[in-house]
Amino acid sequence: MTRMVERPEWKALRHHYEQIRHVHLRDLFREDPRRGERLVVDDAGVYFDYSKHRVTDETVALLLRLCDVSGLRRGIEAMFAGEHLNVTEDRPVLHVALRTPQGTKIVVDGVDVVEEVHTCLARMEAFSERIRGREWQGATGLAIRNVVNIGIGGSDLGPEMAHAALAWYGDRGITCRFVSNVDGMDFYEKTRDLDPTETLFIVCSKSFGTLETLTNARTARTWVLDAVGGGEDAVAKHFVAVSANPDRVAEFGIDTANMFPMWDWVGGRYSYDSAIGLSLMVFVGADAFREMLAGFHAVDEHFRTAPFERNIPVLMGLIGIWYNDFFGAETHAVLPYSQYLWKLTAYLQQLDMESNGKHVTRDGQPVGLQTGPIVWGQAGTNGQHAYYQLIHQGTKLIPSDFIGFADALEAVGDHQDLLMSNFFAQPEALAFGKTADEVRADGVPAGQVSARTFEGNRPTSSLLFPRLTPDTLGRLVALYEHKVFTQGWIWGIDSFDQWGVELGKTLANDIIPELEADTDPGLGHDSSTNALIRRYRALRGR
Ligand code: F6P
């Protein structure tokens, strides 16, 4: 297969880059006064403004050719049809089935997965209603009021992000916590003020073999049983599991009747809209959860059917490629102007970096181009007082997404307009900067003019939504999922495996007995690792 980097369409973009790399956004806006209305897509409940990017109509046309030459349309259809796009694991990539309305069929190996999804949703709903109605009792007869999700990576970041994002819609009488780190202090801090008799654990692990999760789940079992006494009966009242591996769930001691399914065709980082989001459904209720699924689905349909030049995730993906592969930008900032979205970027880090942090193509050749960016950021306006200085005046090019909402969920003074004034001001300042002449005209002393000059030409996308709702959250996350798909497909990589994290897991497992041994374990690592382990053992008195 010809690699993307060798294609004439890629080379044409390189040539084009040389021609326009110094073109300034000030000039692009001057030449086309309606640019800010033209380079916009208003569809699928999203207002997406990409006018403040260093692109011309020709750039966009050349980028769109990457879709054709990579067969993106075919790739999207293959994903929705359940083809095995995760080639190294030989699995379908079907997170879109998680939000496909009942009645639509997607058949995988003879099974209609949409039907399975809806059966699971109905079970989740019944379970959630029992907790929300305070009907589910712990072993001592007290109603469950605390729900602790134990999981890591995709089995943690999504539910926790969405729990934070939708806090306004949640039942505040239910305390939800998320334990992920194998650092015991995570478990300690998240449970120290909870009453075990009123606490239920949802152990989420697709594989049910993840060291962190199983360790935390064992600790939780001891914590509960020490308080309530009893054995399997008590476990059944305080533990449910979400997993694709019933055997391991049973081996752990959780009755599989208390297990909600996961499927091989959903990647962990694409899974919080499955039963992995059970804690979220308990918190916000089934109606809100289903509303979120409808939001996801609306963007799935947009991605599947909208022409690429009006397709928001495709444009997000192409613009990302433009900076990543041609301007040499290494990072991508995501800056939501909503405190409720304070966990969004951490969630997107896994989604994007675990998906597209790859160095070979789907057929195993070196990819020969830059793949996924480093994703970072936090909620505005906080970031403005931390690292925006570097975005404005540093030496690095950092394309950024600004995400904003028109309405606040509660009217608190004039906060919303103050917040959103920043959402509008920052991209404007980043794009247009402030020339030395403008700085001088402000009466700035000559010695400070260069330090106070803003070059501008810093690219941003603006994504504006009416209001942060479950539906909007679904739309927002689906946009990023499909952006990641678009990029991975064009680069020709497998966005759905994660072999890179496996090596670290294996090595850590080998080291555990060396840390715990009573006598000198006879270390065989490199001299640095050996010395560090010896020092650790000495510090621990071993
Ligand atoms: O970090 C690797 C990884 O496999 C992620 O892809 C996944 O989300 C996480 O571990 C947790 O996996 P599991 O749900 O199987 O415990």
- Series of mean pLDDT values for 10-residue runs along the chain (542 residues): 93 98 98 98 98 98 98 98 96 98 93 97 98 97 98 98 98 98 98 98 96 96 94 93 96 92 97 98 98 98 98 98 98 98 98 98 96 97 94 97 98 96 98 97 97 97 98 98 98 96 82 95 95 97 94
Give the CA distances from residue 18 to residues 13, 22, 327, in Å, rounded to whole numbers and listed in that order: 9, 8, 10
Q: How far apart are the first and last CA of the chain?
A: 55
Contact 491, 82 (CB under 8 A): no
What phi and psi values does residue 213 have, to the nearest 5 degrees?
-70, -45
**Residue 262 Cα: closest atom of ligand 1:** 14
**Which atom of ligand 1 is nearest to 212's Cα?**
16
Name the residue with tokens 């001891």.
Answer: 222
- H-state helical runs in 133-210: 157-165, 184-191
Residue identified by tokens 């969405």 is 162
Q: Is 249 in the pocket of ligand 1 (CB under 6 A)?
A: no
Nearest CA to ligand 1 atom 16: 205
Residues 190-217 have pLDDT tens digits of 999 999 999 999 999 999 999 999 999 9
CA–centroid distance, 268 to ligand 1, in Å, is 6
Report pLDDT for 1.
76
Closest ligand 1 atom, residue 204 Cα: 14
Q: Is the CB of 392 under 6 A from ligand 1?
A: no
| Among the listed residues 242, 264, 271, the one whose alpha carbon sits nearest the alpha carbon of residue 254 | 242
Q: Whose CA is nearest to atom 2 of ligand 1?
A: 501
**Residue 205: closest CA among 137, 270, 255, 276:** 276
CB 425 near ligand 1, within 6 Å: no
Asked whether 497 lines ligand 1 (CB < 6 A), one says: no
Contacts of 211 (CB under 8 A, 6+ apart): 182, 505, 508, 509
Share above pLDDT 70 across residues of the chain, in percent, rounded to a whole number: 100
Distance CA 526, CA 164 (A): 43
**pLDDT digits over 250-284, tens only?**
999 998 999 999 999 999 999 999 999 999 999 99
Distance 210 CA to ligand 1 centre (A): 7
Residue 241 in contact with ligand 1 by CB distance below 6 A: no
pLDDT of residue 232: 86
Q: 241 pairs with which residues across the strands?
A: 203, 259
Question: Residue 503's pLDDT is what?
Answer: 80
DSSP at 323: I
CA–centroid distance, residue 54 to ligand 1 (Å): 37
pLDDT at residue 274, as a whole number: 98
Supply the pLDDT for residue 504: 75
CA torsion sign for 399, 405, 411, 414 is positive
Q: Is the Cβ atom of 197 under 6 angstroms away from ligand 1?
A: no
Global confidence as pTM: 0.97
CB 46 within 8 A of CB 468: no
Q: What's the confidence (pLDDT) of residue 230? A: 82
Catalytic residue (one of 160, 354, 481, 514)? 354
Total residue count of the chain as it appears in this document: 542
501 lines ligand 1 (CB under 6 A): yes
pLDDT at 320: 98
Q: Is the CB of 498 under 6 A from ligand 1?
A: yes
Annotated active-site residue 505? The verdict is yes
Active site residue 354: yes
Rg of the Cα trace of the chain? 25
> How far apart are the CA of 150 and the centre of ligand 1, in A?
12
Q: Pick the residue whose CA is nearest to atom 8 on ligand 1.
A: 154
User: What residues are paired with 204 via a beta bridge?
Assistant: 242
Which of 15, 22, 105, 385 is flagged as catalytic?
A: 385
Distance 12 CA to ligand 1 centre (A): 39
Task: Decide the pairing of beta strands 146-150 and 46-49.
Answer: unpaired
455 is catalytic: no
45, 475 Cβ separation under 8 angstroms = yes
CA distance 467 to 56: 31
Whether the CB-CB separation of 324 and 373 falls below 8 Å is answered with yes
Instruction: Please tell me which residue in 6, 189, 505, 516 is annotated as part of the active site.
Output: 505
